[in-house]
Amino acid sequence: MALIVQKYGGTSVGTPERIKNVARRVAKWKAQGHQVVVVVSAMSGETNRLIALAREIQAHPDPRELDVIASTGEQVTIGLLSMALKDIGVPAVSYTGWQMPMMTDSSFTKARIQSIDDVKMRADLEAGRVVVVAGFQGIDDNGSITTLGRGGSDTSAVAIAAALKADECQIYTDVDGVYTTDPRVVPEARKLDRITFEEMLEMASLGSKVLQIRSVEFAGKYKVKLRVLSSFEEEGDGTLITFEEDDKMEQAVVSGIAFDRNEARINVKGVPDKPGIAYQILGPVADANIEVDMIIQNVGDNGTTDFSFTVPRGEYQRAQGILQEVQTHIGAGKIDADDKVAKVSIVGVGMRSHTGVASTMFRTLAEEGINIQMISTSEIKVSVLIDEKYLELAVRVLHKAFGLDQAQN
Ligand code: ADP
Ligand code: ASP
Ligand code: MG
């Protein structure tokens, strides 16, 4: 007998029929003698609908109230799934984040989990019930409802698996595992049987939305056995996120390609090239809680420097405004911004022991006439910023150039 935490995403619970399917799947695990906790998302499209509704009242919704609204989608699905389970003779009980409770900090719309009370869950499992928990939501010390950021049900599931010391956390979604890149963009993408935790962390942080990054961080911290699988297929082992690099994996120099459209670039031109300038530019941006990603500083003319950096697209107007305020103070010549940019990244632990990976990437993009605006690297990834209109082309040609199209045995 094992203790399994399963998470079903929005598409997997998108219709009453699909919810009944999930119930049948859960019932099968239960019938095999396992204890099962199920974490569910809202029905697909529901969270978007709720957020759009809030925006009709307030262009920039009050974050606390937005969480009150956005969290309701999951409350519906836990009720529906529990009913579907009971209907086929499986004892089940539903919990919202605050009934459990799942305690978080008070950063509305992007709250962090602080602790999970597992008393009720354990008692229910002991009593033979399936526990159905609402993903994406928690409660802070003041009793306010919080949400964990888009895609946060993954994190709820992994955190619950960690708290219960579950044998496995299974993320059921609309693809049958983690692919070499988003299969919606590159149909030739291949499913990976295994991916290392470090690679998955990079892929998630560089834009692959198959797992929310915080769920991967949790899995790493608490060594949760994490697997991504399809909720639509009966067979298949999905993709296992592993903590060791096996021999076979070391052969793949590049394991995957991630991309992110959520980027905007800001250029500050002609600032005096002197100590402290990076701080004077980025300090106010950081104070405004805007996350800066890639940074480039170039030597310009006459003792000046050009400074570029990227921020999330939704924040670029705010970042531009902040810089315009400090423009005279820092003595900048010109500030401009471009929100039609995207980041493409190649990821692989094999890069540690191979040279020439970055140059293959640059050559491949050059051959397609794709201009690289910024570059950043780490031990196991190379990212480039390009014009958004070339994004899909870039992902496709890189996927091919690194041999990811072919089956590798
Ligand atoms: P869910 O609603 O189940 O949480 P998501 O939409 O959040 O599902 O995540 C699954 C989607 O992630 C897939 O449909 C796929 O388009 C996308 N995706 C992006 N990158 C990858 C990748 N490398 N491997 C698999 N899927 C990916
Ligand atoms: N329903 C939330 C969202 O759409 C959380 C999730 O699905 O993981 O972002
Ligand atoms: Mg998701």
Residue nearest to atom 11 of ligand 1 (CA): 210
Tens of pLDDT, residue by residue over 236-247, are: 999 999 987 665
What proportion of the chain, given as a percentage, has pLDDT over 90? 85
Determine the residue of 154, 155, 173 to mutate for testing ligand 1's pocket, defined as the one with the most ligand atoms within 8 A of the Cβ atom.
173
Among all bound ligands, the one having the nearest atom to the CA of 42 is: 2
ω into 101 cis (within 30 of 0): yes
Whether 174 and 231 have beta carbons less than 8 Å apart is answered as yes
pLDDT recorded at residue 409: 42
**What is the DSSP secondary-structure string of 23-82?**
HHHHHHHHHTT-EEEEEE-PPTTHHHHHHHHHHHH-SS--HHHHHHHHTHHHHHHHHHHH
Atom of ligand 2 nearest to the CA of 48: 4
- Single-letter amino acid, residue 296: I
pLDDT recorded at residue 361: 97
Residue 39 has pLDDT above 70, yes or no: yes
Domains and CATH numbers, the chain: 3-174 (3.40.1160.10)
Whether 8 and 156 have beta carbons less than 8 Å apart is answered as no
pLDDT recorded at residue 247: 56
Residue 347's nearest CA partner among 181, 155, 188, 214 is: 181
Q: How far apart are CA 93 and CA 113, in angstroms?
A: 22
Average pLDDT value for residue range 134-148: 98
pLDDT recorded at residue 139: 98
pTM, two decimal places: 0.93
Q: Where are the alpha helices (DSSP H) in 143-287?
A: 153-164, 197-205, 213-222, 247-251, 277-287
pLDDT recorded at residue 325: 87
Average pLDDT value for residue range 61-68: 98
Q: Is the CB of 136 under 6 A from ligand 2?
A: yes
Other beta carbons within 10 angstroms of residue 329's beta carbon come to: 9
pLDDT band of residue 172 (cuts 50, 70, 90) is: very high
Whether 312 and 262 have beta carbons less than 8 Å apart is answered as yes
Q: Is the CB of 97 under 6 A from ligand 2?
A: no
Residue nearest to atom 1 of ligand 1 (CA): 9
pLDDT recorded at residue 348: 94
Residue nearest to atom 7 of ligand 1 (CA): 210
Tens of pLDDT, residue by residue over 185-238, are: 999 999 999 999 999 999 999 999 999 999 999 999 999 999 999 999 988 999
What proportion of the chain, given as a percentage, has pLDDT over 70? 97
Distance spanning both ends of the chain, measured CA to CA: 33
pLDDT recorded at residue 322: 92
Gap from CA of 121 to ligand 1 centroid (Å): 29
Tens of pLDDT, residue by residue over 393-402, are: 999 999 999 9
Q: What are phi and psi of 398, to 5 degrees?
A: -70, -40
Among all bound ligands, the one having the nearest atom to the CA of 109 is: 2
The mean pLDDT value of the chain amounts to 94
Residue 251 has pLDDT above 90, yes or no: no
Q: Is the CB of 122 under 6 A from ligand 2?
A: no
Q: How far apart are CA 134 and CA 99, in angstroms?
A: 10
Gap from CA of 175 to ligand 3 centroid (Å): 11
Residue 248 has pLDDT above 80, yes or no: no
pLDDT recorded at residue 145: 98
pLDDT recorded at residue 301: 78
Among all bound ligands, the one having the nearest atom to the CA of 209 is: 1
Q: Name the least confident of 18-32, 93-107, 201-215, 327-341.
A: 327-341
Beta strands per DSSP E along 231-329: 239-242, 256-272, 295-299, 304-311
Residue nearest to atom 10 of ligand 1 (CA): 210
Whether 227 and 239 have beta carbons less than 8 Å apart is answered as yes
Residue nearest to atom 8 of ligand 2 (CA): 151
Ion ligand 3: protein residues whose beta carbon lies under 5 Å: 9, 151
Q: Ligand 1 site: residues with CB under 6 angstroms?
A: 9-12, 41, 151, 173-175, 178-179, 181-184, 208-210, 256
Atom of ligand 1 nearest to the CA of 172: 3
pLDDT recorded at residue 79: 98
Atom of ligand 2 nearest to the CA of 10: 7
Reported as type and span, the H/E element at residue 343 is strand 334-347
**What is the DSSP secondary-structure string of 171-209?**
EEESSSS-BSS-TTT-TT--B-SEEEHHHHHHHHHTT-T
Q: How far apart are CA 138 and CA 114, in angstroms?
A: 10
